[in-house]
Amino acid sequence: MSKFTFTRKDKVGKPRECGYMKYDRVSGDSAALYFYGDICGESWESRYFDEDKAPQDIVDFLSEINEGGGTKRLDVYINSGGGSVFGGIAIYNILSRYQGEKVAHIDGIAASIAGIIPFACDKVIARASSQLMLHKPWSICAGNADDMKKCIESLNICEQSIISIYAEHAVNGTTADKIKSMIDRETWLTCEQASQYFDIEIEPGEAAAACISESYGLYRNAPESLRKSAQPEPEEQADIHRKRKLQLMHDCMSSSFQNKERRYINDKT
């Protein structure tokens, strides 16, 4: 596993680290991309844990591996409990546009919004004992009745987008209504079962260990074995992570404020 560090020049031209991604060593004609954590909406969130991915991480990665022209075969490995709906849809669209050959491998679990990411590839290969989970998107909303109505409308649009993606890759006469019924009741499928509904090739063998995700405790029908993997960390370790996350938020907000301040000063001079 290799680590690639992304850099960006600041206002004075000095390179600054702005993120990193771990991936298999890139050969002359191929590369591997791993979704082994949660799906994030913004890059600062994906810096909190090495395994997490955000849309901008994928854009940067694809740009770097094809620097100098040409395209590489891309193997995409999935073992994710889900995460941000908009982040996942964006990643799906980014990968769909990639012109090189793409093969997805479901190693352990593709749950929630992570379930659509494999279908951005030309072929989906899954271990017989790996899993796919579909459910309704959810959100947290605060405000008045109009705010609540907008939130409901947004969730319904997200759900329709997810249904449309699955429907594009359906087999054996699986209809959009059938997909919606699975989503409505939060359906957990082995990938062998999922291959009855979607274009998935089954590969014999044992699946990878289940992904540790913060999302499992939120799902209604999550298997008990997955819920146990989402148990809270010891308080001391959790406190370290909270402090790190707050520091990342502070750094991002400080950087944004400084950039705005510089632009304001430049506009005035």
d(CA 187, CA 172): 18
| Coil, strand or helix at 175 | coil
Cβ neighbours for 135, distance < 8 A, ≥ 6 positions apart = 112, 183, 186, 187, 219, 220
| CATH no., domain 2-231 | 3.90.226.10
**Diameter over CA atoms, the chain:** 67
Q: Smallest Cα–Cα separation from 110: which of 120, 101, 99?
A: 120
Question: Token pair of 253, please?
Answer: 């907000």
**What residues contact 14, with CB distance under 8 A and at least 6 apart?**
none
pTM: 0.73
Q: Which residues, including other chains, have CB under 8 Å from residue 54's CB and lie 6 or more apart?
A: 39, 40, 41, 42, 43, 45, 46, 84, 87
The residue extents of the domains of the chain are 2-231, 237-269
* Closest listed residue to residue 158, CA positions, set 137, 185, 142: 137
pLDDT tens for the chain, 269 residues: list them.
455 555 555 666 666 655 445 554 466 788 999 999 999 988 877 777 778 899 999 998 898 888 767 778 999 999 999 999 999 999 999 999 999 999 999 999 999 999 999 999 999 999 888 999 999 999 889 999 999 999 999 999 999 999 999 999 999 999 999 999 999 999 999 999 999 999 999 998 665 555 656 666 666 666 666 666 555 455 555 555 555 555 555 555 555 444 544 454 455 54
